[in-house]
Amino acid sequence: MLSHSHMTDQELLDHYYADGNTRWLGVLLSRYTLLLFGVSMKYLKNEEEAKDAVQFVFLKALTEIPKYKVTWFKSWIYMIARNHCLMLLRNKGTVKSLEEHHHHVKDEIPEKTALEEREMLLNRMDEAVNELNDEQRTCITMFYLQKLSYQEIVDRTGYSLLQVKSYIQNGKRNLKITLQKRPEHER
């Protein structure tokens, strides 16, 4: 594995797409174990649940990578981890609401409705982000979800500062347009 340490994420993915050998994915995933664990701990605040989440993300990555041409692996794997943790938290919230239902029926209804609305909004937002072109999706993800600065995005992607600002601005505009075009029943 140490002999692969000089290879970029994209080189490892290219090798995998060329020969289908999952060893390349193993090297790639091992690079992100700590990042994924950190993301999972941030959301779940439970070590065992975070470890389980990392395993889920690894399995999901192994089943999804063959289906798609992944370009920005770190952003892609981060989004899978984040979405999985949010789903777990949403499910916990729903379970908690049902458990407390017997005690606080009137108090729970607004909270449950707000939770459902937030879940729908998050799902719509994820779908809209996935509809952006690669450059916009990458810059939006890095800027808003990973909280990277313009310069950090420039350093990681190789885009110029002007391109990064443009991709973010156009990506925001396209997200807004996409979300506004959705039929009312999907809102």
What predicted TM-score, i.e. pTM, was given to this entire model?
Answer: 0.50
Query: Are residues 132 and 96 part of one domain?
Result: no
User: CA-CA distance, 59 to 72, in Å (whole number)?
Assistant: 18
| Residue listed under structure tokens 């156009």 | 170
Reported as a single tens digit per residue, the pLDDT across 141-180 is 888 777 889 999 999 999 999 999 999 999 889 888 887 7
Q: Which CATH number fits the domain that encloses residue 87? A: 1.10.1740.10
What per-residue confidence (pLDDT) applies to 184?
46
139 within a domain of the structure (yes/no): yes
Which positions ≥6 away from 70 have C-beta within 8 Å? Answer: 13, 76
Nearest to 35 by CA among 73, 74, 4, 7: 74
What per-residue confidence (pLDDT) applies to 159?
93
| Chain centre distance of CA 139 | 13
DSSP state of 59: H
Q: Is the pLDDT of residue 98 over 80?
A: no
User: CA-CA distance, 151 to 180, in Å (whole number)?
Assistant: 31
What per-residue confidence (pLDDT) applies to 143?
83
What per-residue confidence (pLDDT) applies to 3?
63
Q: Which CATH number fits the domain that encloses residue 144? A: 1.10.10.10
| Residue listed under structure tokens 């890095």 | 142
CB atoms within 10 A of CB 167: 24
Query: Are residues 24 and 78 part of one domain?
Result: yes
Reported as a single tens digit per residue, the pLDDT across 40-72 is 998 888 999 999 999 999 998 888 888 878 888
CB atoms within 10 A of CB 12: 20
173 within a domain of the structure (yes/no): yes
CA distances (Å), 170 to each of 104, 164, 181, in order?
45, 10, 16
- Domain span at residue 163? 127-187
